[in-house]
């Protein structure tokens, strides 16, 4: 696990400086790459807003290929009729910390330390006649010390001569992650390849988190529509656009705050009656795509997740490489 954390830490150091971020969802329409086989890497943090708490970082390694249709767990994913599909696997690691990482004691009333590592099996379907994108996703993994986030964050902070996090011994303890998620996006308005407005709905259930979400996505710029299948000759080599995505969430359970469903030995978690059951997120950003190189800079605002927390603004950079 130490070797794994060093490798991931080296990647993070090369592409950015350690800070904080937002959970990664590759299936959203503004992250579309017009291919059914590619590999891309995402790294999110909030270095750009000068904070270092809540969602500390997110790392996402993604492989899309038609051969993954035969991967055993893919059989558990729902396939809508009359659609084209992208089949994928991803490895994701997410870390969470309280505001003051230089304190060794438990910070009651703040977010607990937590680390998560996931294997995601997913498919993204497109029905261009209905102008609809549907994605289903199965996440399996671990929350807790076995995810390796303590060593990862300490190594990165040591390399950049930043504050050492001292409270990871208080983190949410090891438990299994088994989650299923369904996303639906449907285009509502369009103006050529310059503007798109679409609806967004999502539902997830499992041991990591249970929630339902609804929102909208607006895209403005010069892009291939993520709701249509473009002939190869008409695909744009260069795309540039702005997006905005406000979302409301109804929260049922969050293991990064409340601890795992089966292991109740965590020394500190947020009680269920302190969880805010309705939260809001607004995310906006700029995307540049050249062939299969994907670059995104984003900012987001998150309303308080529990009664003693505050709203949180984060930002970061995402880099995707398609091959």
Tens digits of residue pLDDT in 260-318: 999 999 999 999 999 999 999 999 999 999 887 888 888 888 899 999 998 877 777 77
**Is residue 47 pLDDT above 70, yes or no?**
no
Integer Cα distance of 78 and 134 in angstroms: 10
| Highest-pLDDT range among 29-38, 251-260, 294-303, 313-322 | 251-260
**Half-sphere exposure (CA, 13 Å, Cβ side) for 269?**
20
Cβ-based neighbours of 182, under 8 Å, separated by 6 or more: 78, 134, 135, 136, 137, 202, 203, 204
Q: What is the pLDDT of residue 21?
A: 34
For residue 248, the cross-strand partners are 214, 280
**Is residue 27 pLDDT above 70, yes or no?**
yes
pTM: 0.85
For residue 199, the cross-strand partners are 186, 216
Q: How far is CA 30 from CA 68, 152, 191, 287, in A?
A: 23, 30, 16, 8
Integer Cα distance of 182 and 203 in angstroms: 5
Q: Give the model confidence (pLDDT) of 198-238 as tens digits.
A: 999 999 999 999 999 999 999 999 999 999 887 665 678 89
**Is residue 8 pLDDT above 60, yes or no?**
no
Q: Give the model confidence (pLDDT) of 118-176 as tens digits.
A: 999 999 999 999 999 999 999 999 999 999 988 888 887 788 788 888 999 999 999 99
Q: What is the pLDDT of residue 234?
A: 65
Written as six digits, the tokens of 51 are 């904070």
Q: What is the DSSP string of 303-314?
A: --SBTT---EEE
Identify the structural domains of the chain with CATH numbers, from first to last. Answer: 2-321 (2.40.128.140)
Integer Cα distance of 143 and 256 in angstroms: 8
Q: Mean pLDDT over all residues of the chain?
A: 86
**Is residue 52 pLDDT above 80, yes or no?**
no
**Is residue 191 pLDDT above 90, yes or no?**
yes
Tokens 């680390």 — which residue? 115
Angle of helix 149-159 versus helix 2-15 axis, rounded to 10: 50
Helices (H), the chain: 2-15, 149-159, 255-258
Count of other CB atoms within 10 angstroms of residue 144: 24
Please check whether residue 239 is in contact with residue 221, taking contact to mean a CB–CB distance below 8 angstroms. Answer: yes
């Amino acid at each position: 696990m130490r070797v794994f954390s060093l490798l991931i830490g080296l990647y993070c150091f090369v592409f950015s400086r350690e800070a904080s971020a937002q959970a990664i969802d590759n299936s959203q329409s503004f992250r579309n790459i017009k291919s059914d086989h590619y590999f891309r890497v995402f790294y999110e943090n909030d270095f750009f807003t000068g904070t270092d708490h809540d969602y500390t970082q997110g790392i996402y390694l993604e492989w899309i290929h038609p051969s993954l249709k035969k991967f055993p767990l893919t059989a558990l994913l729902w396939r809508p009729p009359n659609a084209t599909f992208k089949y994928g696997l991803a490895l994701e690691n997410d870390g969470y910390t309280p505001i003051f990482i230089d304190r060794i004691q438990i910070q009651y009333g703040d977010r607990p330390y937590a680390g998560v590592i996931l294997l995601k099996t997913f498919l993204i379907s497109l029905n261009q006649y209905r102008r609809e994108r549907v994605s289903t996703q199965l996440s399996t993994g671990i929350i807790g010390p076995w995810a390796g986030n303590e060593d990862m964050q300490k190594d990165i902070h040591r390399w950049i001569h930043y504050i050492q996090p001292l409270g990871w011994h208080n983190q949410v303890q090891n438990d299994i992650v088994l989650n299923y998620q369904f996303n639906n996006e449907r285009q509502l308005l369009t103006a050529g390849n310059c503007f798109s407005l679409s609806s967004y709905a999502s539902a997830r259930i499992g041991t990591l988190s249970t929630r339902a979400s609804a929102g909208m996505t607006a895209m403005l710029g010069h892009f291939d529509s993520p709701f249509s299948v473009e002939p190869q000759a008409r695909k744009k080599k260069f795309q540039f656009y702005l997006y905005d995505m406000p979302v409301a969430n109804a929260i049922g359970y969050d293991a990064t705050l409340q601890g795992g469903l089966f292991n109740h030995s965590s020394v500190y978690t947020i009680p269920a009656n302190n969880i805010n059951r309705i939260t809001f997120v607004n995310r906006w950003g700029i995307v540049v795509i050249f062939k299969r190189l994907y670059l995104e800079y984003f900012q987001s605002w998150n309303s308080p997740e529990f009664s003693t927390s505050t709203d949180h603004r984060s930002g970061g950079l995402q880099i995707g490489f398609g091959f």
